[in-house]
């Protein structure tokens, strides 16, 4: 059978987190750059489907293709690492300094890849409806929250927590199957869920907002980072760390390592019949 039980899934999360946390700088950057670009590709694919069909849900149905490529190729996405690396660190596989360093370099790689794809995409001279779509979404992700003041920061942060809860569930669900088809199906569902509901993903936004700025959106770098990128990254961190990574570790990983304790007043077990 190809199904993998939850306790084994958590063991695999620990091993995956250890491997990712101990990657050399070169690999963190290269794999991070590829992931940022691939997520940008799947974002424009989703926008294209939504525009062609007139149904936003159509875009959500195809968006997971980039995520699938990233996971199956073992590339580095900082949002997924927000769940995997803390589990390995909690299990003593490396220290917090190493974890923070890996997060930072993958974040930088994702940003470079996203900006690179944004620049290449803009050079294709996208159709007017695509330009309008990207600018409209980017403004909603920045000026839209800015207009709400402090409540805007709360809203974008919570949407980011919910987003990476689902994204990291996609990472974990891929570990529940030993077959490629099973992995694809298992990770597709939570990724579709976050994108269809308009939650905030830091790496997707590394493409959408700069692309909109390159296409003429009236946005500043300050609006991008203060009203989206920083709070979204922090929300993604909380969602991946608490809702998926440590939550699963505490119930399936740490518990399995606790030694069995017999109460002092416990009576001796009955002899086995026969």
pLDDT value at residue 94: 87
CB atoms within 10 A of CB 101: 15
Residue 14's closest CA among 253, 180, 178? Answer: 253
Rounded Cα distance, 85 and 83, in Å: 6
* Residue 258 pLDDT grade (very low, low, confident, very high; cuts 50, 70, 90): low
Model pTM score:
0.92
Among the listed residues 257, 249, 255, 258, the one whose alpha carbon sits nearest the alpha carbon of residue 89: 249
What is the Rg, in whole angstroms, of the alpha carbon atoms belonging to the chain? 21
**Whole-number mean pLDDT of the chain?**
93
Query: Which tens digits make up the pLDDT trace of 157-212?
Result: 999 999 999 999 999 999 999 999 999 999 999 999 999 999 999 999 999 999 99
Sequential DSSP letters for 150-213: HHHHHHHHHHHHHHHHHHHHHHHHGGGBSSHHHHHHHHHHHHHHHHHTT---HHHHHHHHHHHH
CA dihedral (117, 114, 64, 106) positive or negative: positive
pLDDT digits (tens, 9 = 90+) for 51-77: 999 999 999 999 999 999 999 999 999
CATH numbers and ranges of domains, the chain: 6-254 (1.20.1080.10)
Given a cut of 60, whether residue 265 has pLDDT beyond it is: no
């Amino acid at each position: 059978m190809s199904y993998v039980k939850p306790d084994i899934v958590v063991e695999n999360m620990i091993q995956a987190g250890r491997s990712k946390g101990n990657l050399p700088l070169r690999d963190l950057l290269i794999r991070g750059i590829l992931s940022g670009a691939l997520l940008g590709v799947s974002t424009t694919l989703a926008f294209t489907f939504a525009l062609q069909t007139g149904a936003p849900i159509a875009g959500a149905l195809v968006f997971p293709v980039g995520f699938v490529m990233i996971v199956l190729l073992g590339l580095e996405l900082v949002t997924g690492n927000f769940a995997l690396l803390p589990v390995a660190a909690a299990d003593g596989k490396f220290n917090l300094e190493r974890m923070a360093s890996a997060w930072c370099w993958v974040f930088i790689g994702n940003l470079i890849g996203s900006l690179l794809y944004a620049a290449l995409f803009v050079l294709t001279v996208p159709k007017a409806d695509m330009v309008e779509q990207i600018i409209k979404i980017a403004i909603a992700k920045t000026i839209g929250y800015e207009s709400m003041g402090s409540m805007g920061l709360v809203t974008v942060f919570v949407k980011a927590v919910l987003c990476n809860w689902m994204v990291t569930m996609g990472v974990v669900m891929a570990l529940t199957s030993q077959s490629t088809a099973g992995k694809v199906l298992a990770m597709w569902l939570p990724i579709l869920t976050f994108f269809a509901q308009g939650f905030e993903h830091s790496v997707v936004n590394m493409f959408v907002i700069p692309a909109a700025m390159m296409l003429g959106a009236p946005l500043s770098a300050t609006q991008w980072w203060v009203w989206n990128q920083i709070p979204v990254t922090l929300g993604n961190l909380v969602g991946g760390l608490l809702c998926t990574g440590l939550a699963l570790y505490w119930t399936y990983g740490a518990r399995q390592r606790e030694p069995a304790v017999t109460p002092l007043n416990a009576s001796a077990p009955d002899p086995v019949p026969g």
